[in-house]
Each structure stands twice: as structure tokens, then as C-alpha cells.
Amino acid sequence: MRRYNSQADYFKEKFGVRLQKLVVDAGFTCPNRDGSKSRGGCAFCDNNAFHPNYSTPDKSITQQLEEGIGFHRGRYRRAGGYLAYFQPYSNTYAPLEKLKEIYGEALSHPEVKGIVIGTRPDCVDEAKLDYLAELSRRHIVIVEYGIESCYDATLQHINRCHTFADAVRAVEMTSSRGLLAGAHFIFGLPGESREMMLAAAGKINSLRIDSIKFHQLQIIKGTKMEEEFSSHPERFETFTLEGYIDFFVDFVERLRPDLVIERFAGEVPPRFVNSTPWGLVRNVELIRMLEKRLEQRETFQGRLYPPKN
């Protein structure tokens, strides 16, 4: 058994098979891109850096799934099924009838066992969640919210255009319907110290989420974040690879033990960043380093949870 609650183990235990995600780009946008709240998107964001070449909105949902299955069969031969992962932008940001059409096409594929929907806390409502709850009676349905930070000052600074209270509300609406809820956070956003990031564990623990994904901040070319990092590097808490592993061990000790950790660091293709301070280390090697460090420190997820008064 691992010293942290991994998603690979969770899927196998809960559903009996290894499930592989297939990224799907259904052509959505975001309210902080189309002008309804803001323009330009989040300061750190270039979605092209986060999804594979087979996933492009000029292809149908079915074609993307077919190409994704072909791509992953060579890499993950033990996969017992697939989840259509609607990842780029905000994948509930459309009328309900359009969502039914998009999700329905994905779920009609014989090898797709369910869907994972990446979205924002301010892009769901009662009707959409009621529909997803109905789908979850027959399929796996996971709603993954990009929250990014527990601190409203940070969220405003990076142009998220929602608050942490919005995230709490969306997660509550989701989990109250029996839906699986996930969340995404970034470590190293400007203005957040190491101590602030560790303290965020308490707020994350209070969320009614089932799974969680963490990324270290990566400075993507052409973003507002790149401009700020160049002109004000002192605002950023940066990590060496070894320092990040130790930081995450400190964090995971404080994390609720039942929370499923999907990933704790991110990979961006080198062409999208100005530098690769960690080298070209792959996710499998990061996992090996984390597990080794947890063993060396004789610790585990939740060792310091709940915190002592």
C-alpha cells in the first residue's frame, strides 16, 4: 500500500479496473475570456500546454476518443476502460441542451465508462447538476473544479473572477447530489508564502470533495504570469525539485487521509516554457521520488490530521 491515497489505487478498488482518461476538447470557452466577466483568461493559462495533440475542437468527440484510445493502448495496456476527460476551458459553460448533446456522444462510445468534467465554480447551476446526477446513476461522473487557491486576494490577482466562497458553494451543490467532486490547486502563485500554502490544507480539508489535483506553478510563455515573473520575481515562492518533494510531504501530512490525490505535480512540454528548472523529469519519476521521501521520513497522508489545538 502507498503512503498516500492515489487515484490509480482508488479507481481499481472502487470500479475493479484501471481507468484511463482521454482528454476531449469540445470547444468551450470561459466567462473570463468571452467578456461576460473579463477577457484574457487566467494569468497563468495557455490551454494548449495542457492537452495532447489528438484533442482538438475541429474533430468530433467520437474522433477524439478513437484517436485517444489508439494513443493510450500502446502506453497503458492494462486499462480496463476509459473516461472522457473534458479538460480545456470551462466544460459546463454552455446551455444544458448543448451539454446533453456533448456528454451523450462521449458516453455512447462502447469503451467509455464515464466522464470527467473540468469546469469553474461559477459555471454550474442546479439544473446542470441535476442532469449530471441523473447520468451518474448509469455512468461514472466526476466534476472537477479549478479552484487554484483558497485565498481571495490571490484569485483576484490572477484574474480568476470567482471567490473561494463560490468554490465552497459549487462543491456543496455537487456533493449533496451524490456526485463525485474533485478540485485543482496550484502551489507557488504570486503573493503566497510557503506558510500560506501549508495553511491552505485546513480549508481544503473542509471541502466536500473526493479527489484533488495539485500542480506546481509553471511559467508559460506568452502569459500575464510570465510578464509578472520577469518583472517581480520576488513575489513568487519557487521550488527546487527536492524542495518541492519535501514541501509536498509536509503538506500531505496535513491533508485529510480519505482525499484521493490524482497528482501532486504537473508536466508541461518544454516548448511552452522558458526554462525547465527541474529538467525533463517525468511524472512516474516524481511519484517514485515522493514515495521514497515519505518512506525515508516514516510519514504518510494525514499523519498530522486533524491538527492539534
Q: Is it the case that residue 41 has pLDDT exceeding 80?
A: yes
**Three cell numbers written together for 164:** 473561494
Q: Is it the case that residue 77 has pLDDT exceeding 70?
A: no
Q: What is the Cα–Cα distance from 233 to 277, expressed in whole angstroms?
A: 15
Name the band, by pLDDT with cuts 50, 70 and 90, for residue 309.
low
H or E element at residue 83: strand 79-86
Q: Is it the case that residue 74 has pLDDT exceeding 80?
A: no
118-148 pLDDT tens trace: 999 999 999 999 999 999 999 999 999 999 9
Mean pLDDT of 51-56: 80
What is the pLDDT, as a whole number, of residue 272? 84
Sequence-ordered list of residues with C-beta below 8 angstroms from that of 16, at least 6 positions apart, any chain = 80
H or E element at residue 80: strand 79-86
Q: What is the CATH number of domain 7-296?
A: 3.20.20
Q: What is the Cα–Cα distance from 135 to 165, expressed in whole angstroms?
A: 27
Mean pLDDT of 18-45: 93
Q: Which of 174, 171, 196, 176 is nearest to 186 (CA)?
A: 196
More confident position, 52 or 120: 120
Q: Which of 128, 150, 132 is nearest to 141 (CA)?
A: 132
Residues in a beta bridge with 187: 216
Q: Which of 138, 140, 25 is nearest to 81 (CA)?
A: 140
Amino acid, res. 279: G
Q: What is the Cα–Cα distance from 92 to 119, expressed in whole angstroms?
A: 6
216-261 pLDDT tens trace: 999 999 999 999 999 999 999 999 999 999 999 999 999 999 999 9
Residue ranges in 176-276 assigned as alpha helix (H) = 194-206, 224-231, 241-254
In whole angstroms, how far apart are CA 5 and each of 87, 252, 291? 23, 10, 11
Q: What percent of the chain has pLDDT over 70?
A: 97
Residues, the chain: 309
Amino acid, res. 248: F
What is the pLDDT, as a whole number, of residue 299? 98
What is the pLDDT, as a whole number, of residue 9? 85
88-119 pLDDT tens trace: 999 999 999 999 999 999 999 999 999 999 99
Model pTM?
0.94
